Structure 1
Amino acid sequence: MRSSNPVFSRADGFNGRGSASGMSYPTQGSPQYAPPAPQYGGQQYGGPTGGAPTGYAPASTERMTIDSVVQKTGLTLGVVVVVAVATWFLTGPITDPQALTTLYTLSMVGALGGFALSMVNSFKRVVSPGLVLAYAALEGIFVGAFSKAMEAQFGSGDGTGLVMGAVAGTFAAVAGTLAAYKFFDIKVGQKFRTWVVAAMFGFVAVSLLDFVLGFFSADIGVNGFGGMGLVMSLVGLGLGVLMLILDFDFVERGVAAGLPERESWRAAFGLTVTIIWIYIELLRILAILRGND
């Protein structure tokens, strides 16, 4: 079953096409080994004969595990946090509107740069740890600058209000979603996957349209801090949680397919994208609610 997350769609094992014997890419020249492929979730992994996919061969004795995914995700998120904190302190105090404009400009640079690298990472056949960490650094600039701007406009200004609330909420959302996924044994079906992906693309399309319309003073407020912005952020938060469920499902499938250890970086990248999404939507919700007090 193919992953709907473009981050995971480049790795066969995340889509039920890897084999338990491992997977490498076509550049490997070692002889192929094709034991019977395991069954997982009602779908067989492997090529047409039940073995390794055509053109693939074992690349490493190291296999991706839950522990390796957690470690790589922790490192990637650590880079985001370190760069975000550095951005917060290096930009200095907000003493005038120009300083706030600078923060928004910096956040846009980080967001656009992160988006560009996310596209590169999503469509690379072989995951690059360096590019994943570079993405994390750019997202750290975005998160740090945007968080400071939100805190300056709607919070206490020292990070103890909106930012801490959004961080705590993000931890709660990730932990709660993971607990529900494991304890309730959530099964991701094709209809659920299709609905979430369609909703995600629709959400992004509406947000981009509103962003473009803003240049002509014709925006409808979905990216703003009014009632429409609150509704969109609530929808975005819900979508983030649903995407997190898809992420957990595809990581579990990748581990079961016996992907090489380097694919832990791809999993870490996908999880980081979703966690940042959740944090930003929570931050916007808190900012809007504080602004309406």
Structure 2
Amino acid sequence: MRSSNPVMNSLSSAKGGAQRGAFEVGGPQGYQDPYAGYGQAPAQATGERPMTVDDVVSKTGMTLGVIVLFAVVNFGISLVSPGLAVLLTIAGAIGGLVTVLIATFGKKYGSAAVTLIYAAFEGLFVGGISLLFSGMLFGDANGGVLIGQAVLGTLGVFLGMLFVYKTGAVKVTPKFNRILTGAIVGVLVLAVGNLLLALITGANPLRDGGMLAIIFSLVCIGLAAMSFLSDFDAADKMIRAGAPSKMAWGVALGLAVTLVWLYTEILRLLSYFRSN
């Protein structure tokens, strides 16, 4: 049940705790396979119906809708006040990070408010970063084409990885998740180190559009794509285990985190090629 996505890990832990509580009511004799018959016990123990695929689809759709809405709002603001749009982009990035940390470490499992607040912050960030990377913030009329390509690329990767997961072409195992998590942590350390280097010396080798930056973006895109497999597997197992329906909000949050990361990296990569 472990996932490379910290939000999914938190949801899995919460679901696991609910299962243990439900199974311990009847003592050892009352134990049952958590995945047999979609495991209704955990949801019943909380007085809620079990989570379904429809719950995940609808909550994820609502979350993405909020992201798009606030991205459009920040785009509109940029036409009137570019400076304010930049401030909102920074606020969105910081607010989104803080919200994910609250959801992960504050055990706000299945909170609609936390998920939608994250979506609002990330919408501001996505809108601003799209304007910045595409050049539209600086008057590039062709920036909309770049944004459209990034959106199509993100959608294509998402659907492609969903197909890969459903066909079982790649098996999501504990070893797979451990390797993926280690790789993501390594990329994060490199990104933070590159940021500190840029602040201290002005050099920015991983984000300057050169060959090394292109390779780094391709690695990030690959890891984000693989993260979808881990996210799908965690969500699938939660549904089979009969997790409460409210947990669909947490699944939506986890998928949104991966989608935003993937979109940002694809857009950044396309901006490199256009600049070159």
- TM-score (ref. length: structure 1): 0.82
Letter in 1 for 2:155: F
Q: How big is each residue's C-alpha offset from its partner over 1:226-274, in whole Å with a ceiling of 9 and x where there is no partner? A: 2222111111000000111100010011111110011001100000000
Pair 1:232 & 2:216 matched: yes
Q: List 4+ stretches of structure 1 deviating above 6 A.
A: 20-23
Change (3 A) 1:180 1:221: same
Q: Per the alignment, in what secondary structure is the counterpart of residue 9 of structure 1?
A: helix
Letter in 2 for 1:194: R
Q: Which residue of 2 aligns with 1:180?
A: 164
Q: Which residue of 2 aligns with 1:138?
A: 121
Superposition deviation, residue 74 in structure 1: 0.5
Q: How big is each residue's C-alpha offset from its partner over 1:46-71, in whole Å with a ceiling of 9 and x where there is no partner? A: 9xxxx978xx9711231111110111
Q: How far, CA to CA, are the matches of 2:33 and 2:13 in structure 1?
A: 12
Q: Which residue of 2 aligns with 1:166?
A: 150
Superposition deviation, residue 105 in structure 1: 4.3
Q: How far, CA to CA, are the matches of 1:122 and 1:66 in structure 2?
A: 22
Identity among equivalent pairs (%): 33
- The runs of 5 or more residues in structure 1 that have no matched partner are 24-30
Pair 1:248 & 2:232 matched: yes
Q: Which residue of 2 aligns with 1:116?
A: 98
Q: How big is each residue's C-alpha offset from its partner over 1:194-240, in whole Å with a ceiling of 9 and x where there is no partner? A: 11100000101111111122111253421232222211111100000
Change (3 A) 1:150 1:12: closer
Maintained 8 Å contact 2:51/2:242 = yes
Pair 1:274 & 2:258 matched: yes
Q: How far, CA to CA, are the matches of 1:109 and 1:129 in structure 2?
A: 21
Pair 1:63 & 2:38 matched: no
Instruction: Report 1 or 2 for greater relative contact order, CA contacts < 8 Å, sequence distance ≥ 6.
Output: 2
Q: How far, CA to CA, are the matches of 2:129 and 2:7 in structure 1?
A: 24
- TM-score (ref. length: structure 2): 0.87
In the TM superposition, 1:1-293 aligns within 5 A as 1-12=1-12, 19=19, 32=25, 35-38=30-33, 40=35, 58-92=45-79, 99=82, 103-127=85-109, 128-152=111-135, 156-157=140-141, 159-184=143-168, 186-292=170-276
Structure number having the greater helix percentage: 2
Aligned residues: 271
Q: How far, CA to CA, are the matches of 2:161 and 2:198 in structure 1?
A: 34
Moved more, 163-172 or 148-157: 148-157
- The runs of 5 or more residues in structure 2 that have no matched partner are none
Change (3 A) 1:215 1:20: closer
Letter in 1 for 2:160: G
Q: How far, CA to CA, are the matches of 2:5 and 2:269 in structure 1?
A: 25
Moved more, 216-225 or 279-288: 216-225
Letter in 1 for 2:76: F
